Amino acid sequence: NAGVTQTPKFRVLKTGQSMTLLCAQDMNHEYMYWYRQDPGMGLRLIHYSVGEGTTAKGEVPDGYNVSRLKKQNFLLGLESAAPSQTSVYFCASSTLAVTQTYEQYFGPGTRLTVT
Amino acid sequence: RKEVEQDPGPFNVPEGATVAFNCTYSNSASQSFFWYRQDCRKEPKLLMSVYSSGNEDGRFTAQLNRASQYISLLIRDSKLSDSATYLCVVNGLTGGFKTIFGAGTRLFVKA
Instruction: Give me the pLDDT at residue A63, please.
Output: 97
Q: Are A61 and A47 in contact (CB under 8 A)?
A: yes
Radius of gyration of the CA atoms of chain B, in A: 14
* Cα A41 to Cα A38: distance, rounded to the nearest angstrom: 6
Give the one of B43, B46, B93 whose C-beta lies nearest to A103's C-beta.
B46
| d(CA B103, nearest CA chain A) in Å | 4
User: Does the distance separating the beta carbons of B99 and A45 come in below 8 Å?
Assistant: yes
Task: Decide if A48 touches B, using CB distance below 8 A.
Answer: yes
**pLDDT classification of B97: cutoffs 50, 70, 90:** low
Instruction: Give me the pLDDT at residue A98, please.
Output: 47
Task: Decide if A97 touches B, using CB distance below 8 A.
Answer: no
| Residue A99 scores a pLDDT above 60 | no
Task: Decide if A43 touches B, using CB distance below 8 A.
Answer: yes
Q: Which residues lie below 8 Å from residue B77, measured CB to CB, with a gap of 6+? A: B16, B18, B59
| Residue A54 scores a pLDDT above 60 | yes
Instruction: Give me the pLDDT at residue B99, please.
Output: 82
* Cα B77 to Cα B18: distance, rounded to the nearest angstrom: 6
Instruction: Give me the pLDDT at residue B2, please.
Output: 78
Instruction: Give me the pLDDT at residue B32, please.
Output: 86
Query: pLDDT (tens digit, 9 = 90+) per residue, B12-71?
Result: 999 999 999 999 999 888 888 999 999 999 999 999 989 888 899 999 999 999 999 999
Q: Which residues lie below 8 Å from residue B54, measured CB to CB, with a gap of 6+? A: B61, B62, B63, B64
Task: Return the beta strands (E) in chain B as ranges.
Answer: 4-6, 11-14, 19-25, 32-38, 44-50, 55-57, 60-65, 70-75, 84-92, 98-101, 105-110
Chain B residues with beta carbon closer than 8 angstroms to that of A50: 97
Q: Are A13 and A19 in contact (CB under 8 A)?
A: yes
Chain B residues with beta carbon closer than 8 angstroms to that of A44: 101
Instruction: Give me the pLDDT at residue B94, please.
Output: 56
- Count chain A–chain B contacts defined by CB atoms under 8 A: 48
Instruction: Give me the pLDDT at residue A101, please.
Output: 61
| Residue B93 scores a pLDDT above 70 | no
Chain A residues with beta carbon closer than 8 angstroms to that of B101: 35, 42-44
